Amino acid sequence: MFFHSTCDCDITMHTTPTSPWSLRAWPAVLWQARRQTELAFEHLGTLVTSPADRTGQTMWGARDGEAGVAWDWVELPIGAVAMADPMSVVTNLRLVGDAGEVLTAQQAARFLNEIVHTLPWQQEVQRALRAA
């Protein structure tokens, strides 16, 4: 199992949601922030929401289906893709600090961005852009 949870909830596998932002409806998963490198995510889907503006969304989920992350992306004029807003990673992870406190969105952003930067998401976005 990839996740440590302090609740006794029964969390079941999720199917890929129709919208990356539906992650907010998934059950919350508590996770020690300093252990985020132990998370194993796989690509669930990438959407080109505006082919003209070369923007979209990508979504990644843990292999056991308990947690997910998603964010908006944009293609830059030089052809590279970037996160549209590094402060806006949507997730059902509730990151917990060393003292057991749930981190604020601002505190968690650094750890969520570390997760994003470990994923090969730019390749998936480029594949989606080619298909669009």
- Name the E strands within 2-92: 29-32, 41-50, 55-62, 68-75, 81-83, 90-91
- What pLDDT digit, counting tens, does each position of 79-123 carry? 899 999 999 999 999 999 999 999 999 999 999 999 999 999 999
C-alpha–C-alpha distance, residues 57 and 20, integer Å: 7
- What pLDDT digit, counting tens, does each position of 21-50 carry? 788 889 999 999 987 667 889 999 999 999
Domains annotated on the chain, with CATH:
20-131 (3.10.450.610)
pLDDT the model gives residue 115: 93
pLDDT the model gives residue 128: 95
User: For residue 52, what pLDDT band results from cuts at 50, 70 and 90?
Assistant: very high
pLDDT the model gives residue 88: 93
